[in-house]
Structure 1
Amino acid sequence: MGASPHSRSAARRRLEVSGRANGGGIVEACRVIAASGQQYPDAGLVRERGSSMVKAYVLVVTNPGKTKLVVAGIKDLEGVVECHEVMGPYDIVVEVEAEQLSDIPKILSEGIRPLDGIESTSSLVTFPQ
């Protein structure tokens, strides 16, 4: 189900007015969840063509009984997009985004790994699309 042409053109006009549509910029991805009738500006979710974020998934094993505490600590860290408690060999899956590949190790070493209750982590860095 795609957006109607009217909503696309209205969005384009809003981008032009905000100055974000110059130079052929495009919206790469955007997920907006809002109550009916409420309007939200792009909230910084618009990226110009050519810019991309590095994404990584961090698989976390926690000490028994510490999973919920670790999830609460991870959710507020800079660079964390999503954090889910899961079943299986890992206890938590974390989606992380950064401007550059070199930013990912810092997020892990200074943000995630020092949290109390983490036993081990494994990281999966995605290829650019």
Structure 2
Amino acid sequence: MVQAYILIQTDVGKASAVAEFIAEMPGVLQAEDVTGPYDVVVRAQAETVDDLGRMVVAKVQQVDGITRTLTCPIVHL
């Protein structure tokens, strides 16, 4: 199982709606609207890195109001 944080920038005023919508997606563990350079932070999981990438590109990035994402896989050193 691969987990990652997905940092999301949204259009002005869209962070709350984006976080609520993404929180309902399969594989999403948590979605919070935050302040700072990113508007929403998501913790997600998938079986493989490829599955995670497909989820981000095919599902998350297609949500109305999202302008940019940055995916940060979690590593255990």
Give the TM-score band, short-chain normalised.
over 0.9
Q: Which has the bigger relative contact order, CA under 8 A and spacing at least 6?
A: 2
Gaps of 5+ in 1: 1-52
The alignment covers a number of residue pairs equal to 77
How much does 1:101 deviate? 1.3
Q: Who is 1:63 aligned against?
A: 11
Matched, 1:82 2:35: no
Task: Supply the AA of the counterpart residue of 2:24.
Answer: D
| Structure 2: tracts of 5 or more residues without a match | none
> What is the RMSD of the two structures over their aligned residues, measured on CA atoms?
1.2
Identity among equivalent positions (%) equals 34
Partner of 2:40: 92
Number of the residue aligned with 1:111: 59
Q: Could you tell me how far apart the structure 1 residues matched to 2:69 and 2:61 are?
A: 7
3-state secondary structure, aligned to 1:104? helix
**TM-score (ref. length: structure 1):** 0.57
TM-score, reference length from structure 2? 0.92
Aligned equivalent of 1:72: 20
Q: Distance in 2 between matches of 1:128 and 1:78?
A: 23
- Structure number, greater radius of gyration: 1
Q: Which has the higher strand share?
A: 2
